[in-house]
Chains A and B, each alone.
Chain A
């Protein structure tokens, strides 16, 4: 069976004054339809670069992303992105923030009434119908991110891309949003690629966890299949032996095999290079 999304030999080099900096080296990943994939790794390992290439916001130096048999080379709504800092337009209400996307994506396909219903449907999906006419500044961080997710879902993406969607939220809010996301997943069964730092989040939500090695020239280290039955419940899983094994496997990868490069003080060279990667990403972004 052909994969739904196929990343083949993705290599990314950023130009720097000291010559090209290799952020990613030959990343290969095949994603099936309806799969929930988490990308996990230390800061500066190129997770965001992978996501941005799938989104079409970056162009890979070598290799390609193929979605449903078509090569990706520009951003588009079929690969909607949920950004870490919600990225809502502060001058538009929650409703208008979703409406601007819906109007653009379904131009000529939906009538006015259909657009209104579709926006409200997606707000309801994210449990935010009560805040439709509030401005982002009037909403809490968790509520803003719910709207951000609703906006991405409203584009009916083939692949939903999430860049550390809950990274800026407190632990309790994050748990609420994870539960909501699982609930939405049961209903829509989207194909999702999510970046995360949080091991529990990765195990709880994913079908597969893709663990990345440290940069420079980061690539996929291991892929872990999470064979836990759905619907998953965080309380039951907390004492589940399988769940804890998966958790331990990811922790081992992150902290034994590929420990955080920023903490290695004896070996200064890789550290410098990893900082260089941050700069390069900053310039390219």
Chain B
């Protein structure tokens, strides 16, 4: 049924306020649905409006060395400017390549054997570029962390001995701040990652590894707990039908622990995103963190508004990442969603 499917889709996707909208569209119990819509959508909107009001009112009272603290409208304007700058930079880039293209064409006309020098455009990284750099870095670090944490977690869950053995190491490494890791990571990467034509920039490797070190623990711990607490009867079914050891891990342990693994991955990605901004700021690695730091150092009258826009963007991206993982988690879990 179309209606049921649409409602199911919005429930899995976490847009619960869309459910009354769909029901209203089918004119099903409009009174009750309007009330629900008022609750699910109206209350958050009211809270946001109040928040913006207090922000605007409060910000006007604060005088900084860079002028008044920007209110919501100033921040929105800063956002528009950032987007305009991005457009402008792209136009410059296109123009640069066009000129290069023409220059080379002329050269070849004169002498078909001429040696051509292709140069890359070296303009400033815009705000949008920084967003994509940050996303690329966080996913690289997160992926690396998952590749390590999931297998180690499964091994720990299967073997109580191994779990006891490495648990203290995990407990000690887990609470270390990314700012403490960063100098070590930087030195180690400089020493180990030597190449004339590096595939990745060192700064990128530094931030990604810092993210890995900080965000692998929740996945590792959750995976271990998930695997260790599988219903013993399910394992016994595997023994009765004589599944081999590897098949038992693959077909029973991993699927049974998958909801827990995803809970861990979700927490990990959240931590990774928080850690990344801090790491970029401190290490001057490209990304949103560097953007914030540069603006702070820049200290123009626009800087505060631009930083605030970056803060809102960072929060929003974090929210989207969490929503992505939550939706994935709901899709793979049979126990709660499909009932």
Interface residues of A (CB under 8 A from B): 55, 57, 74-77, 79-81, 83, 85, 87, 89-91, 100-101, 104-105, 135-138, 155, 285
Contacts and interface: CB of A to CB of B under 8 A. Distances in A.
Nearest to A103: B241
A218 B261 CA distance: 42
B258 A91 contact: yes
A104 B241 contact: yes
Contacts of A75: 236, 239-240, 242
Identify which of B240, B255, B335 gathers the most chain A CB atoms within 10 Å of its CB: B240
Contacts of B115: none
B232 interface: yes
B252 A81 contact: no
B231 to A, nearest CB: 7
Contacts of B110: none
28 contacts: A57-B239, A75-B236, A75-B240, A77-B241, A79-B240, A80-B240, A81-B237, A81-B240, A83-B237, A85-B231, A87-B231, A87-B234, A89-B234, A89-B237, A89-B252, A91-B255, A91-B256, A91-B258, A100-B241, A101-B237, A101-B241, A104-B242, A135-B334, A135-B338, A136-B334, A137-B335, A155-B241, A285-B232
B195 interface: no
Contacts of A55: 236, 240
Q: How large is the interface on B (under 10, 10 to 19, 20 to 34, 35 or more residues)?
A: 20 to 34
Interface string B234-249: 1011011111000000
A90 B239 contact: no
A77 B242 contact: yes
Interface of B: 231-234, 236-237, 239-243, 251-252, 255-256, 258, 334-336, 338-339
Contacts of A87: 231, 233-234, 236-237
Contacts, number: 64
Contacts of B240: 55, 57, 75-77, 79-81, 155
Nearest to A85: B233
A83 B335 CA distance: 19
A91 B334 contact: yes
Q: Which 8 A-B pairs have the closest CB atoms?
A: A87-B233, A75-B239, A137-B339, A91-B255, A83-B233, A104-B241, A101-B241, A75-B240
Contacts of A79: 240
